[in-house]
């Protein structure tokens, strides 16, 4: 990730996203739009302390405590994978100032064609918010034309309420209910 320092003039630099967190056992892939500034700085998905992603998932699986200690990101990723959940983003790179999806410019969509080789058990893509959802048809089509062929066309697409702090109009309880229902539908709860 490269960003211009405060006070420097000029256009924004191209930002590069994070690699996917997936395994052959991934059943549901959560797709965000693009990591916010805090996540890029930390090189961690959902790194902003007010993002509700980790809090929601922790509430979905209370019997499996989420690693909380400092520096626990790798353990959190393993925790996700053990629950058969993966994480990635629609965009692999973009121009953006700040963290808002509305500020994303010149975005390059990730290549989803090879994803099914890494995730042969994939049953659904859960889009974390509206910006990711805008690309659900393209993601579905990319998966359908991949090596897995026609069976890939049966992968579900679900729009979930964004866990972003910018999505404060929807209560935690409503977000939790939607996320839990989605994960239960695919046998993860």
Q: What domains does the chain contain, in order, with CATH numbers?
A: 14-185 (3.40.470.10)
Higher-scoring residue by pLDDT: 149, 52: 52
Active-site residue, from 51, 110, 128, 167: 51
What would the pLDDT profile of 42-75 be if each residue is shown by its tens digit? 999 999 889 999 999 999 999 999 998 878 999 9
- Mark whether 51 is an active-site residue: yes
Stated pTM of the model:
0.88
Mark 134-158 as b/e (b = at least 16 C-beta within 10 Å): ebbeebbebbbebebeeebeebebb
Q: CA 77, CA 92: separation in Å to the nearest integer? A: 19
Q: Which of helix, strand or coil describes residue 27?
A: coil
What would the pLDDT profile of 100-135 be if each residue is shown by its tens digit? 777 788 888 898 878 888 899 999 999 999 989 998
């Amino acid at each position: 990730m490269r960003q211009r320092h405060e006070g420097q003039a000029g256009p924004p630099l191209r930002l590069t996203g994070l690699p996917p967190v997936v395994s052959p056992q991934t059943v549901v892939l959560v797709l965000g739009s693009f990591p916010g500034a805090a996540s890029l700085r930390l090189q961690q998905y959902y790194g902003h302390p007010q993002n509700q992603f980790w809090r929601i998932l922790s509430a979905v699986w209370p019997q499996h405590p989420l690693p909380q200690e400092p520096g626990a990101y790798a353990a959190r990723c393993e925790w996700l994978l053990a629950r058969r959940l993966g994480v990635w983003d629609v965009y692999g790179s973009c121009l953006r100032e700040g963290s808002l999806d509305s500020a994303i410019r010149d975005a390059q969509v990730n290549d989803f064609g090879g994803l099914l080789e890494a995730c042969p058990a994939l049953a659904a893509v859960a889009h974390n918010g509206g910006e990711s959802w805008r690309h659900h048809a393209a993601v579905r089509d990319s998966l359908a034309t991949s090596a897995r062929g026609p069976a890939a066309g049966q992968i579900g697409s679900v729009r979930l309420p964004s866990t972003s702090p910018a999505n404060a109009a929807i209560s935690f309880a409503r977000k939790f209910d939607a996320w839990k229902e989605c994960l239960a539908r695919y046998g993860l709860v």
